Structure 1
Amino acid sequence: MICSDIQKDLATTCGMEVTKVIKNGIGDKNFSILIDEARDCSIKEQMAVIVRFLDDHGVLQERFLAIKHITDCTSIGIKETLVDVLEYHGLSPSKLRCQGYDGASNMRGEFNVLQNLVRDEAPYAFYVHCFAHQLQLVVVTVAQCSPAIADFFNYIPLIVTQVCSSCKRKDALLVKHQDELLDLMENGKISAGTGLHQESSITRPRDTRCGSHLRTLFHIFSMWNTVADVLGIVVVDAREHTCQGGTRDFLKKHGMLGICIHHVVLKNLLSNTNHLSQALQRKNQNIVEAMRLILDVKESLRDMRDNGCESLFCQAKNFCETHDIDVPNMDDLVGTMDQ
């Protein structure tokens, strides 16, 4: 069993048996496909193919069919690879009724793109953009229409890079966060329990990854003082001012009311849309329920726009007071430029 050849034979045999079960489940029925491509750790482009079909009991089934290395990432190359995968597994493209992708540039459009190339082989294979992915792109794009929010989105990845770019900084982040949690528990400000306050780190947000912006904001929000401490370490350890990589400016912004307001607004905005995104990612989605959720989210966002300014500012103000960030008195008179 420790021989590599035996292990490979066992894995291949298991894969063949699983694939046979999937093909028997599909039979002569119509099916749809989901495709995505990504680079693996060896920097090779891999294409994953997933099939969706109704079994004999009318229950929707979703099965991972194959993963294929592709050398040509153009629409034509992906289409040829897809046809080869289907034919290899004995699935006729003529039975294809739906195709779903993540909306990347080489997978969408109107002319000479994958969806149209596939429909040349299967005329009834209609294209459906992943609704959760579409929602993610819309929210990020609309939010970045505001110059201030666009700057904030540019600021967050730079903070992640500065804080987590080395093992030393990442370890310091985790240790300081753990010490902060222990101090809060001893003072009775947070409660301890199974599954609470797990060790976490900060990851770079991705525009095409559902929920990544919210997770990053949530982690920075919960580790605010810890992030500031690590940025301070970077400033102190830098041998020269040019080696700080703008960290001093990041540290200054980190302690300003404006950044806190942006953080609170986006956290509330993305939390509202995240519930809808999670619902849209369910395999067995009720269309009526999905439409109701869309209306609920629209109403919630409209209410936040019309009546949420005071509440959002209070949240930002309370956050600043908790983390010893100066909050100016908004009732003070501000002199004009001529004075």
Structure 2
Amino acid sequence: MDLILLHDKCDNQLPKPTGNNQYLSPTIQKDVADCFEEEVLNSIFKDIGDDVFALLVDASSDVSKKQQMAIVLRYVDKRGLVIERFVGLVHVMETSSLALKSAIDCFFATYGLSFIRLRGQGYDGTSNMRGEFNGFKAKILEENKSAYYVHCFAHQLQLVVVTDAKKHLGVVNFFDNLSILMNVVCSSCKRTYMLRENEKERVEKEIGSGILETGSRLNQELSFIRPGDTRWNSHYKTLIRLVDMFSSIIRVLICVRDECSNPSSQNQAIKMLAYLNSFEFVFYLQLMLHILGLTDVLSRALQRREQDILEAVSLVETIKDSCTNIEKMDLINF
């Protein structure tokens, strides 16, 4: 809404461009973006006012391998609603606690924020963030003892799933083969296009035979997405896509096996075709779909903007009971 009002305001105040004055040069476009950023941030800080707030920070690298820190403020507005607002993406030379603290100090000084008003901080569980003595959390607590630290519940869940999965060689082997499969199928634009065309042909055939229904938002183009390293809900999405696109993936592997001029790729395609037809693959696929399906429900619930604590606790207990039942069935050693 703020962006729309600002856009209307700019339309009313700026004169109509004439000739080559189209305001399209990179410098002018950057100035316009900076103006939008300033107006949006001023609106957010005005909404916070002199009230207290919590700080959420996460550091990661972009596609160009530059380290950057995302900053989010969490507060309660005048209507009593819990609000989270993304307020900045700051480039940092390193992700040490000192470097992150220095970047936060500069950000707070720029926008007139005070650590005295800080009542909470939430990060992931890495040592540079939650370290007891030298972590980013500890640096904040040195300035304000009331800035209580809370480890992101959704991230804790991800870490539990990752740790448990790495303890079982069968699961590790399953996801290692899944990574190889994605490298073979999606390693080039040609194979990606082939997969897309095969999938399009499959959908058209199933619609014609009445297997698939048609309607708004149905049968949209799918892609075989690569899962993230720690975001295991992304693994769940990858497995769902694997099931949906299985026949198309098989056709691409057969094409690579029969027509590719690279012996290494041919060998990988042959191994993948054998693995995808094995009992081991089918077993672990169904097992991980079931387990990750349970944890995905909990993960999405923990990341909801309006969190119901009692509902979340109840859901955690339900998921734990379901996982306990799986363990009792001793499916892993079946």
Could you state the TM-score of these two structures normalised by the residue count of structure 1? 0.85
One-letter amino acid matched to 1:150: V
Is 1:151 the counterpart of 2:173 in the alignment?
yes
Partner of 1:283: 305
SS of residue paired to 1:230? helix
Partner of 1:231: 253
Query: CA 1:194 to 1:308, structure 2 compared with 1: closer, same or farther past 3 Å?
Result: farther
Distance in 1 (CA, whole Å) between partners of 2:259 and 2:102 is: 53
Query: Cα distance, 1:210 vs. partner?
Result: 4.9
SS of residue paired to 1:128? strand
Alignment of 1:1-339 (within 5 A): 1-239=23-261, 241-244=263-266, 246-306=268-328
Spell out, residue by residue over 1:88-134, the C-alpha distance to the aligned partner (whole angstroms, 9 max, x if none).
Answer: 11110122111111333432333312111221222222221111121
Distance in 1 (CA, whole Å) between partners of 2:94 and 2:329 is: 51
Distance in 2 (CA, whole Å) between partners of 1:154 and 1:124 is: 44
After superposing the two structures, state which structure 1 stretch, 240-249 or 282-291, moved more. Answer: 240-249
- Are 2:257 and 2:267, in contact at CA under 8 Å, matched by a contact in 1? no
SS of residue paired to 1:246? helix
Query: Cα distance, 1:217 vs. partner?
Result: 0.4
One-letter amino acid matched to 1:124: S
After superposing the two structures, state which structure 1 stretch, 139-148 or 299-308, moved more. Answer: 299-308
- Are 2:123 and 2:152, in contact at CA under 8 Å, matched by a contact in 1? yes
Distance in 2 (CA, whole Å) between partners of 1:148 and 1:76 is: 41
Query: Cα distance, 1:176 vs. partner?
Result: 0.8
Query: CA 1:244 to 1:75, structure 2 compared with 1: closer, same or farther past 3 Å?
Result: farther
Query: CA 1:98 to 1:245, structure 2 compared with 1: closer, same or farther past 3 Å?
Result: farther
Query: Cα distance, 1:239 vs. partner?
Result: 2.7
- Are 2:185 and 2:253, in contact at CA under 8 Å, matched by a contact in 1? yes
Distance in 2 (CA, whole Å) between partners of 1:197 and 1:265 is: 26
- Are 2:59 and 2:69, in contact at CA under 8 Å, matched by a contact in 1? yes
After superposing the two structures, state which structure 1 stretch, 126-135 or 3-12, moved more. Answer: 3-12
One-letter amino acid matched to 1:98: G
One-letter amino acid matched to 2:67: E
Query: Cα distance, 1:308 vs. partner?
Result: 9.3
Note the residue ranges of structure 2 that are not aligned, 5 or more in a row: 1-22
Query: CA 1:108 to 1:232, structure 2 compared with 1: closer, same or farther past 3 Å?
Result: farther
Query: Cα distance, 1:240 vs. partner?
Result: 5.0
Query: Cα distance, 1:245 vs. partner?
Result: 5.6
Distance in 1 (CA, whole Å) between partners of 2:136 and 2:30 is: 34
Partner of 2:12: none
SS of residue paired to 2:57? strand
Q: Equivalent pairs: percent with the same residue?
A: 36
Distance in 2 (CA, whole Å) between partners of 1:6 and 1:14 is: 12
One-letter amino acid matched to 1:178: K
SS of residue paired to 2:261? coil
Query: Cα distance, 1:211 vs. partner?
Result: 1.2
SS of residue paired to 1:106? helix
Distance in 1 (CA, whole Å) between partners of 2:202 and 2:50 is: 60
Spell out, residue by residue over 1:276-315, the C-alpha distance to the aligned partner (whole angstroms, 9 max, x if none).
Answer: 1111001110101111111121222233444696xxx9xx
- Are 1:132 and 1:210, in contact at CA under 8 Å, matched by a contact in 2? no
